[in-house]
Structure formats: C-alpha cells, structure tokens
Amino acid sequence: MRPTMTPRNRWRNSVNNVMLTLTGVCAAVSVSSLFLILGYLLFNGGKSVDLNFFTKLPLSPGQVGGGMANAIVGSTTIVLLASLIGLPVGFLSGVYLAEFSPKSFGFLIRYTADLLNGVPSIVIGIFAWSLIVHNMHHFSAIAGGFALSLMLIPITARGTEQFLLEVPRTMREGALALGAPMWVTIATVIVPAARKGIMTSMILGVARISGETAPLLFTALGNEYWATSLNEPTASLPVMIFTHATAPYEDWHRQAWAAGLVLLGLVFVANILARTIVSRGASLPK
Amino acid sequence: MKNTLIAGAAALAALFTGAASAQSITGAGATFPAPIYQKWFADYHAAHSGVQINYQAIGSGGGIKQLTDGTVDFGASDKPMSDTEVAAVKVKPLHFPTVLGGVVLTYNVPGVETGLQLSGDVVAGIFMGTIKKWNDPKIKADNKKANLPDKDIVVVRRSDSSGTSFVFTDYLSQVSPEWKSKVGAATAVQWPTGLGQKGSDGVAGMVKQTPNSIGYVELLFAAQNKMTFADLKNASGKYVKATFESVTAAAAASKGLDKDFRGSIVNAPGAKSYPLSTYTWLLIPSQIADAGKKKAITEFLKWMLTDGQKQAEGLSYAPLPAAVAKQVQAQIALIK
Amino acid sequence: MATHTAAARPIRKKRLIGGDELAKAFTLFFAVLILVVTGTLVYQLWITSSPAKEKFGFGFLASTLWNPVTDEYGALPFIYGTVLTAFLALVISVPLGVGAAIYLSELALPKVSNALTFLVELLAAVPSVIFGLLAIFTLVPAMRDYVQPALQKVFGFSPLFGGPIFGVGYLTAGIILAVMTFPFIISVSREALMAVPREQREAALALGATKWESTWQIVVPFARLGILGSVFLGLARALGETMAVTMVIGNDPAIHASLLSPGYTIAAVIANEFAEASGKMYPSALVELGLVLFALTMLINGLAQLMIVLTTKKGAAKG
C-alpha cells in the first residue's frame, strides 16, 4: 500500500531525498580528500623524487641536487630504537594486563597507559629533552628513540591486551585442564592465537611514530651528515620535511615533497599491511 | 650509487657498534650567517674528511641557550652575549667574529619592483602598526615617484629568538624614541604586530609568497631568492643600499670592537654606511676537554679567519676588516 | 616444569604454578614501568613549571603578555588560539563526519561501506607534518588568493572577517585541523550507529517514517553518546596537534577578533620557542603551558572514553 501523496508527505519525501543525498556528499567529500592528498603528493613528490634523494646528503641552500639519504637512515635508526624499547615494554605490559593483573591494579595501569597516550607529542618532546638531552649534554638519536617509544608503549600495550582478551576461553581452559602452567599456556596457546591482532597493533604503532615530528625537534635535532653514533644529533624525514617546507629555497621545497611522498608511502604500506592481516570481522585496535 | 648504498649500510652498522670514525662536532645558532657557515663547514669537510661539523640554524637565542646548557660544542649569534649571559655559562665562551653582514627590509609589493626608500621612523611606524597602508603619506614622502597601492601592509617578523631581530630592534630603538620606550631592543620582543616566522629563511619565504608584505632578513636570503629590498636612510641622511661596500663602510666608520671582540655597528655614521650592518659571532668555549675536538675547532678557526674570509663576498657577506681578522686569530690561543 | 596436584597447592582463582610467579613478576615489571615513566613525566613537568607557577599564579591563565625581555608571560592568547582553532575544526568536521558516518552505516552497501571506511581510516594515519606540507603549498595560497578575499567581500562588515589577508591564520589552521579530525569522527560515529539494534530502525519505518526521519529521529539519538564521544576524541586530537598548525597559524602571540588574522596555539609556541628559551622563567612558562594543554586533553579524552564505552557494544570488553 503506497502512502498517500499529501503535500506534507511530498515535503517529507523531498527532505528525505535531500538529506540522504547530502550524507552521500559528505562521504564523497571525505573520501575524495584522501585522494586529493595522495594525488598532490604523488604529483609533486613524484616529479621531485630522484636517485639523488635516496643517495646524497643535503647540500647547502642554493645548491641543487642534494638528497636526504641521511634522514632516511636516521629515521630508520630512531624508529628501530623506539621499537626496541617500546614494543617489548608494551607487549609484556599487555600480557600482564590481560592475564595476571588483579582488577583494581589493572585499572590503574590501563588508566595510566591511556593518560600517557593522551600526552600531546610536543610535551613528550619536552620530557625527553629534560630527562636525556639536558642531562647528557647533547642531542642524540637515543633521546629521539626514547621519546617515540613513550608513544609506542600505550598503543602496543592496549592492543596486545585487547587481542589477548579476545582469545576464546575454551582455548585457555583446554590448556589449563591439561595441567599446563599459566605461562606455558600464554606462550604457546594464547599469544599465538592472538598474534595477528598483536602484530597489527605493533605495525600500526610503529607506522604512527615514524611520522611524528614534534618529539624529535628537541631530542634528535638534525644533522647535515651521517650520524656516526647513536649519541649524536640525527636527521630524520619528518623534521627535514618541516625545515625544508618552511624555507624559501625552491630546491628545498622540491625535496620536502619528495620526502613527504616517501614518508607517506611507508606509512600507508604499513597501514595497509596491518589492516589486511586482521581477519575480516575482528575489530581494529583503537 | 652503489658506493653510497654501501656507505649508508656501513653507517647504519657503525651506529650500532658506536664506531666514531670522523671527528663530529655539533653547533647551533644564528640563521643570519647560516648560508656561509654551511658552505664553510661543507668545504672544510671536503678538504678534511676526518672533521664533520654539523650546524643547526635554530636562531641566535637557541644557540646561546644550547651553549649555556652544554648540549652543543659551539654556538653562533648575531647578538653578542651580555656579561650576565656569559657568566651563566659554566665554561666562559669566547666571541669569534666571522663575517660582516647586512639586514635588509625585503618587500613584495606588486607594482613597486625596485627602488623603495625607507627612513628609520617610517620602518618603526610600519613595525609598530601605526603606519598601516602602503600608500600612507609618510611612505609616500620618501618615495615620490613610486606607485604605492592602497593595500594593508602585511608585516612579517621573527617568531624565534633572533640575533637578526636584535640588530633590527637595536636600530629601531636608535631611530625611534617611541619604539625604544614601547618595545625595546632584544632577540625576542613583544612585537606590536605582524606574522612570526622561524628563521631568516622563514621570513624570506613568507614575504616571497605574500603580496604586500614586508620583512627583515639577512641580505643573502633576499639576494638568493631574487627579492627586492629597500634602501635605508642612514645616520647621515643618505639613502643607502645594502652592499658589500656599504656594510664594510659601516664597520670602518664605527668605533672598534671591545677587548672581547663584542660590539655593534648599527646606525653607523658616514655617508656611505648601511645602517643595518652587523658582525656575527661564533661562540667557542674557552676550555674544550676533548683533545680531538679542540684540535679540529682551533684548526677550523684558523682556516676560517684566513681562507674562509675569501668566500664571504661571493655569498653577499663582507669579510672582516683585515686588522680585526689578525687580532681575532690571536684569540685562538686562548682556547685551552 | 613439573605439574603439581591440586592437593599440593592451595587452589586460587587462577592456578599459578611454578614458573608462573616468575612470569607474573616479569610482566608486572614492565607494566609498572608504564606507571614509573608516566609518573616521572608528570613530576618533571610539575617541577620545571614551578618557577612560573609561583611567579604568575592563576593570573597566568588570564594574562595576554608574552614578553621574553621582561620575563612576563601569560597563557591567554595561546589558550584562545588552541580553543578557537579546535572549535573551527569541529564546526567543519562534525557535520561532515556525522553525515558521512550516517551514509556509511545506513545507506551504503556493506561492501562499499567497508571499503570506504578503510580509505577514510587511512587518512587518520597521515602524519601531521605532511598535512602541514600540503597546507603551506596548497591551502594557504588558496585561502590567500580566493577564499579569504571572497569571505571578506561577503562578510567584511563583521569584525570576524576583517583585517589584512595573510593566507595563514586561525581559519586556515581550523580547516587543516578539520581534515585531520574527521576520520576519527567518521570511524567512531559509524561504529556507534551500526551498534544501534535493527529493531529500532524497523519499528520507525513500520510506523511510516521516511528513511531520513528514522535515521535522524531514532537511530542517531540512540547512538548520540558514541557520536558525542567521537567528537570529543576529535577535539582532543585537534587541541594537541602541533606540526600542521605550527606551519599555518602565523605565530602571533596575541588575541585577534578576526578569523583571518594570525594567532598562536600552545603546541605551536612550544615547538617554536622551546629550543631557544634561555634563563629560568622562559622555559618554565613554556612547560606550564604544556601542563595546561595536557590537563585540557586529559579532561577531553576522559570524557570521550566514557561516552564511547557507554554506547558501542564491545565497549565493556575494551574498557
């Protein structure tokens, strides 16, 4: 039975069509902004990326043809350091939270981890500066890695906990019923069962910190050359993008685009990888 | 390509084993002389591959702070450190003047391609926000023939603690009593108006992209980016363009540097002097514990005061007056 | 590891045998590290900001001075800029985001919805500095040459759109922040909407409502806490954003009425001035600003978590 087409119903129908179309427009705008961003980066970065970018060191302003080889290696170094610290701490904390912690203490740890997660990245930078740079009297990749690890820990911990808790009770109880100790159950049954989700959290976390700039501003600072030790100022891609984009030299702008494309490419590859690992239906770590 | 890849992999490996093959020195400070410092350090490294001097241009204020905190091996500033600042550093820093340079007022006004002339109080008015439009009668008075548009002036100044700002505000304090009482001279002041940008390069970049804007930058940044800059009225009443000659004339006409090699040549007398000229300094600790670093730094300073000076003119700086360079060389011996 | 019979050990809630004590202690150590590091962070911030707190007291929050020469500092211009840019960001991204979320949860086919959501969530992974890079070279010229003059033509009578046109400023920062926050709003709102039971929609439609009426009057209110939570999440992100904002805010530590004028945010001033803040009071004031920002984001994040927990079905497990 079709509704009678009174004027009021006609109005309601029009409102219906207009509003629903509008929501479609919103969705279109949102998605197309992604493509716009990618497009600009591909276009501007694509014509700027050349072999020099990956192989040469930065040249003084005004000279053409330099590259950001040291920043690529520098970023890799700093992120590796951050992961070496942050991933184990995060993972093991997550195991504690999921498997061993009593209710209230667990709540405290979770709350603190969320607190740490919410610290603005610039404030993390200040903390790392006063703790490490100020006391060691130099800028270093170590300080930068430490700062980034602080951002990695909560992401990894909460992600690990979330996916461990999703392992079905039956698996745990089965192992325990066979007389296995908790730690054996965890190591051989629970963690492997949750490994996809945990790996996802880790990959997403590492991808997230590799794009961070603010914590590196006063910890790793920057370097025109190859850093010869972990205890030295180190160049990194995000900081290079920042300094080059805000300078007046055309060649530096070109390099900033190239660096932006490379950085975004890495971040996207990591994200897409992580999201395809997670089986359909499982929720993503938030 | 292959060699660089191997070098990169070796560098990464060396990092994790902590092998330091090159003598690595870190300095930070002024953006004003950054172009020539970076060229010097690059050339020096090319000639002495064992020495790597990494300079981060974060502004004079940053250089002084990091030196005071001991997080860098040397600092750099266009503003000489005051006695209180020197006292705050554990190891007394020595001032080594490096080159002379000029701060210019670069502008981007469609329709006024070259030849804008500005006097001191007009500049003060613009940066205080009392002169708001390009076709203000006061600006017209200095530029009878120019086609000034009826547009708001977009003022661009430094957001960071800057020796260039110090030189600029020092000049404004000398030519405008109102500026002196309301704002004063320092590396970072409470600016009455304007956009802030980081570094001379940031200001140059912003002016270049923004129509009807004006900002103060080191001469080279304007020259390198093919931007126009104004002729300034000097203390003798003449409009002077910033050039190698006018900056050198300002140094010659000023009273000399003090025994610590500090001093100002802003608003110098003399018909040929450019009023916004300045020395710029490297701040070197008088005691360097690491023997390798000390050797590298002292040898660099010797090179800088002799061979390095020859490169100044090519980058729109002026070399130190010969007598000054000689005297400064003697100071190297004070580094223990 | 030998297994013990139940009789040899008291039965506890979770059977911890032998190496389990070690495992528990081992993982506990790392969990406690989180407490230690966060505690140290808060402590360090508190201590370093003490000189400023003592000197300025609560007046710090209301003062508009920012004078490194006389060592007098006030937080108001930065709080104003931070809040204003975040507000502008929400004004743009909330209607856009909620609208898109409605489309994705109610109208789009599941496959399409999943694919589009995947793309939108990728946007959330774009680093801030890249948004800044894009903003400097695309958004700022567009604002300066087209958008801002147009706005001034139409709304120039209002002080909100007066003053010289810079390209950078509050509005530009608000726009780039909007682009950075709507992925969160879309993602979380969509989940909240999808959690609404089918019966609700069907009941409304059975009563003769149009699809839109069913959505807007029944489904959305049902999910409102989750949607509100997503807004707070977006707000928290916008408040703490550093790089993209630093590159387009104009760096002017003053309060201006016009949306087209330059300003400053807490995160931006710390990023710009911390490395050169010498003396005792200057860095202390900057750290106090950092503390203010931290407190603000902590509050907003707390509210956000609360709301999300209250609506999304899986909220209870996530905690």
In C263-277, which positions are buried (b, 16+ CB within 10 angstroms) versus exposed (e)? Answer: bbbbbbbbbbbbbbb
C-beta of residue B60 within 8 angstroms of C-beta of residue B280:
no
Q: Are strands B213-218 and B154-158 parallel, antiparallel or unpaired?
A: parallel
What lies within 8 Å, CB to CB, of C157 at 6+ separation is: none
> In Å, how far is A84's CA from the nearest CA of chain B?
13
Residue B152 gets which letter from DSSP?
A: B
Q: Are B62 and C66 inside 8 Å of each other by CB?
A: no
List the subunits that have 3+ CB pairs under 8 angstroms with C: A, B
Cα distance between residue A163 and residue A161, in whole Å: 6
We report the CATH number of the domain holding residue A94 as: 1.10.3720.10
Taking only the tens place, the pLDDT of each residue in B39-80 is 899 889 888 888 989 999 888 888 998 899 888 999 999 999
Q: Is the pLDDT of residue C281 over 80?
A: yes
Are the beta carbons of B77 and B281 closer than 8 angstroms? yes
In this structure, what DSSP letter does residue A4 have?
Answer: P
* pLDDT higher than 70, residue C8: no
- Give the count of Cβ contacts less than 8 A between chain A and B: 109
Residues of B in contact with A249 (CB under 8 A): 201, 224-225
Nearest to A255 by CA among A4, A68, A104: A68
Q: Sort out which chain B residues have CB atoms less than 8 A from C165's CB and list them.
A: 152, 154
What is the SS3 string spanning A186-244?
HHHHHHHHCHHHHHHHHHHHHHHHHCCCHHHHCCCCCCCCCCCCCCCCCCCHHHHHHHH
Orientation angle between helical segments B120-128 and B163-175, nearest 10 degrees: 120
Which residues, in sequence order, are bridge partners of residue A177?
A: none
Q: Which of A109-113, B130-134, B313-317 has the lowest mean pLDDT?
A: B313-317
C44/A127 CB distance under 8 A: yes
Name the B residues in 50-79 with CB < 8 Å from any A CB. 52, 54-56, 69-72
Q: Residue B304 to residues A60, B13, B51, B309: CA-CA distances in angstroms?
A: 17, 33, 14, 6
Whether the CB of B227 is below 8 Å from some CB of chain C: the reply is no
B152 touches chain C (CB under 8 A): yes
Structural Rg of chain C based on CA atoms: 25
**pLDDT tops 90 at residue C145:** no
Token pair 């360097």 in the structure block, residue: B288
Give the model confidence (pLDDT) of A210-221 as tens digits. 999 999 998 998
Q: Which chains touch B (3 or more CB pairs under 8 A)?
A: A, C
Q: Output the pLDDT for position A188.
A: 87
* Any domain includes A50: no
Cβ count within 10 A of residue C193: 22
Report C:135-194 residues touching A (Cβ under 8 A): 136-138, 179, 182-183, 186, 188
Query: Cβ-count burial of A170 within 10 angstroms (0-12 exposed, 13-18 middle, 19+ buried)?
Result: exposed
Reference A124, options C38, C236, C281; nearest CA is C38
d(CA B252, CA B265): 9
Go through B18-49 and write b for each residue having 16 or more CB atoms within 10 A of its CB, e for each that does not: eebeebbbbbbbbbbbbbbbbbbbbebbeebe
Nearest CA among B147, B115, B142 for reference residue B126: B142
CA A113, A118, A121, A126 torsion-angle sign: negative
Residue A213 lies in a domain: yes
Rounded CA-CA distance C317/A201 in Å is 17
Interface of B with C in 56-115 (CB under 8 A): 58-59, 61-66, 68, 85
Q: Which residues contact B210 (CB under 8 A, 6 or more apart)?
A: B108, B154, B156, C144, C166, C167
How far is it, in rounded angstroms, from Cα B102 to Cα B37? 16
Domain boundaries along the sequence of chain B: 24-99+279-334, 102-277
Q: Which pair of structure tokens corresponds to residue A30? A: 């949102």
pLDDT at C188 over 70: yes
Looking at mean pLDDT, say which of A79-93, B145-159, C132-146 comes out highest.
A79-93
Whether A57 maps to a domain, the answer reads no
Is A181–C119 a contact, with Cβ atoms under 8 angstroms apart?
no
Return the residue matching tokens 């590859």.
A269
Non-local CB neighbours of A91 within 8 Å, separated by 6+ positions = A156, A157, A160, A198, A202
Q: Phi first, then psi: give them for residue A155, nearest 5 degrees.
A: -60, -45
Nearest to B1 among A55, A138, A225 (CB): A55
Tell me the average pLDDT of chain A.
Answer: 88
- Interhelix angle C170-194/A7-40, nearest 10 degrees: 120
Model pLDDT, residue C14: 53
For the residues B90-116, what does the mean pLDDT come to?
91
Mutate to test the interface with C, among B155, B189, B190, B214 (most CBs of C within 10 A): B190
Higher-pLDDT residue of B19 and A224 is A224
- Picking from B186, B188, B195, the nearest residue to C252 by CB comes out as B195
Q: Is residue A11 a part of any domain in this protein?
A: no
- In this model, does residue B1 exceed pLDDT 80? no
Q: Which two tokens stand for residue C127?
A: 């680093």
* Closest CB to C133 among A34, A100, A241: A241
Residue A33 within a domain: no
Taking all residues of chain C, what is their mean pLDDT, rounded to a whole number? Answer: 86
Chain C nearest-CA distance from A75, in A, is 14
Q: What is the pLDDT of residues B162-202, one digit of tens each?
A: 888 999 999 999 999 999 998 888 888 888 888 888 888 88
pLDDT at C10 over 50: no
Q: For residue A177, give how far its alpha carbon lies from the nearest alpha carbon of chain B (Å).
A: 46
- Residue whose tokens read 């995060």: A90
> Is residue C177 scored above 80 in pLDDT?
yes
Q: According to DSSP H, which parts of B18-117 are helical?
A: 34-47, 60-69, 83-88
C-alpha span between B54 and B76 (Å, rounded): 12
Q: DSSP H helical segments within C57-206, as ranges?
A: 76-102, 110-123, 128-134, 140-142, 148-155, 170-194, 198-206
Assembly ipTM: 0.87
Residue pLDDT, tens place only, A42-56? 999 888 888 888 888
pTM of the model: 0.85
Question: Sign of the CA dihedral C94, C95, C101, C105?
Answer: positive
Give the DSSP H or E segment for A57.
Answer: none
Nearest to B193 by CA among B138, B236, B252, B132: B132
Provide, as residue numbers in chain A, all residues whose Cβ is less than 8 Å from the Cβ of B18: 229-231
pLDDT higher than threshold 50 for residue A259: yes
| HSE-up (13 A, CA, CB side) for residue C304 | 22
How do residues B195-244 score in pLDDT, each as one tens digit?
888 888 888 888 888 889 999 998 888 887 788 999 999 988 899 998 88
- Asked whether the predicted pLDDT for residue B16 surpasses 80, the reply is no
Report how many domains make up chain A.
1
Q: Output the pLDDT for position C58.
A: 87
Tokens for A31, please give them: 């998605």
| Percent of chain B whose predicted confidence (pLDDT) is above 90 | 39
Return phi, psi of residue A76, to 5°.
-55, -45
The reply to whether domains B24-99+279-334 and B102-277 share a CATH topology is yes
Q: Does B1 touch chain A (CB under 8 A)?
A: yes
Q: Cβ separation of C273 and B153 shorter than 8 Å?
A: no
d(CA B148, nearest CA chain C) in Å: 16
Extended beta strands in chain C, E state = 66-67, 72-73
Longest dimension (CA), chain B: 68
Q: Mean of the pLDDT values across residues B94-104?
A: 92
Cβ atoms B99, B280 nearer than 8 A = yes
Q: Which residue in this structure is represented by tokens 């000054």?
A: B324
Q: Give A3's DSSP letter.
A: P
Distance CA(B152)–CA(B137), nearest Å, equals 14
Domain B102-277 has CATH 3.40.50.720: no
Sequence length of chain C is 319
Chain C residues with CB under 8 Å of a chain B CB are 65-69, 140-141, 144, 163-168, 250-253, 262, 272-273, 275-278
Instruction: Find, among B101, B115, B137, the residue nearest to B232 by Cα.
Output: B115
Alpha carbon distance B78, B101 (integer Å): 10
Give CA–CA dist C21/C18, Å, rounded.
Answer: 6
C119-145 mean pLDDT: 91
The CA distance from B46 to the nearest CA of chain C, in Å, is 30
| CA distance readout (Å), A252 to A257, B45, C32, C35, C254 | 9, 22, 45, 42, 31
- Please give the Cα distance from C194 to C230 (Å, whole number): 14
- Identity at C277, one-letter amino acid code: A
Q: Do C251 and B198 touch (CB under 8 A)?
A: yes
Burial class (CB in 10 A: 0-12, 13-18, 19+), B149: middle
CA distance B26 to B32: 18
User: Residue A42 and residue A257: Cα distance in Å, rounded?
Assistant: 9
Domain that holds residue A201: 69-279
C2 pLDDT tier (thresholds 50, 70, 90): very low
Contact B213, B206 (CB under 8 A): yes
**Of A112-116, B7-11, B266-270, C152-156, minimum mean pLDDT range:** B7-11
Structure tokens at C124: 């959330």
Q: B55: which strand partners?
A: B27
With H, G, I as helix, E, B as strand and everything else as coil, classify residue B53: strand
Q: Which of C120, C133, C290 sits opposite A245 (nearest CB)?
A: C133
| Mean per-residue pLDDT, A126-154 | 92
- Tokens matching residue A239: 């900081």
Please name the member of A24, A176, A260 whose beta carbon is closest to the beta carbon of C103.
Answer: A24
More confident residue, B255 or C48: C48
Q: Would the pLDDT of A280 be above 70?
A: no
Q: How confident is residue C3, by pLDDT bands cut at 50, 70 and 90? A: very low
Amino acid identity of residue A239, one-letter, is V
Indicate if the pLDDT at residue A284 is higher than 70.
no
According to the 3-state scheme, what is the secondary structure of B261-280?
CCCCCCCCCCCCCCCCEEEE
Nearest CB partner across the interface for B225, out of A230, A232, A248: A248
Q: CB-based burial of residue B152 (10 Å sphere; 0-12 exposed, 13-18 middle, 19+ buried)?
A: middle
C157/chain A closest Cα distance in angstroms: 30
- Smallest CA–CA separation between A260 and chain C, in Å? 6
Q: What is the pLDDT of residues C49-84, one digit of tens each?
A: 999 888 888 888 989 888 877 788 999 999 999 999
Tokens standing for residue A127:
């903390």
Which architecture does CATH list for C55-318?
Answer: Orthogonal Bundle (1.10)
Which residues make beta-bridge pairs with C158? none
H or E element in which residue A103 lies: helix A103-118
Q: For residues C239 and C246, give the distance between their C-alpha atoms in angstroms, rounded to a whole number.
A: 12
pLDDT tier, B21 (very low <50, low <70, confident <90, very high otherwise): low
Give the CATH number of domain B24-99+279-334.
3.40.190.10
Mean pLDDT over all residues of chain B?
A: 87
